[in-house]
Amino acid sequence: MKVNLKKKLKNVNFWILAFKLCFVFGQKKIIVIDPGHGGIDLGAIGIGNIQEKDIVLKVAKEVLRLNKTLLNDRFSIYLTRYNDTLISLNNRVNLARSLKADLFVSLHCNASSTTSRGMEVYIHNSNNPNTEPSTNLGLSILNEVAKNLNFEARGIKYSNFYVLRYTIAHCPSTLLELGFVTNVHEAHYFLKPMNIKALSLAVLIGIYNYL
């Protein structure tokens, strides 16, 4: 039987291309979650001696867990720290760069007067192609938290924070101030494991909706 070699090669090339496309589109998005502070850097200290470094680490680890259990590892999520240790700002940024992260989300808690409350989002104050995507990412998370957890949405703000300044050129990046540890209601909210799970889920779904 005569074989049409040209047609056969064309079919082989088609399937190679199809395989490559499936591989590209099937790649997981890489997300770096940065729990701020750690170790000797306590961050903000609030009502009942609640510490920012502990809250944000709990949220980050819960986001990691929920991605596995609820989203079946849809994203490749890495944390800049997995325990109570101090990681330099430079190393946090370098992790996102070395992983070629698609998103960078830094977690923090606010401190102010006892009446201040709610969540706010920070974006780097530069004219960069990733500024608009960063804003959209931050808004997606903020809206999810405000809508489902009844947190006050304090909006988008712009700042020159180190981790934002040195990640914005590489990927959309945002810094979340999850709430005020100096507000008695929000401090008590952070102390309950079920609330940490709810907050972490809202952050994860906000990321999911953005992507």
By annotation, the residues acting in catalysis are 177
Could you tell me how many residues make up the chain? 211
**In angstroms, rounded to a whole number, what is the distance separating the alpha carbons of residues 180 and 187?**
7
Q: Are strands 173-180 and 76-79 parallel, antiparallel or unpaired?
A: unpaired
Residues facing residue 123 across a β-bridge: 158
Q: Rounded to an integer, what distance in angstroms lies between the CA atom of residue 21 and that of residue 102?
A: 19
Reduced to 3 states (helix: H, G, I; strand: E, B; else coil), residue 136 is: helix
Q: How far apart, in whole angstroms, are the C-alpha atoms of residue 49 and residue 128?
A: 39
- Tokens representing 124 are 């780097």
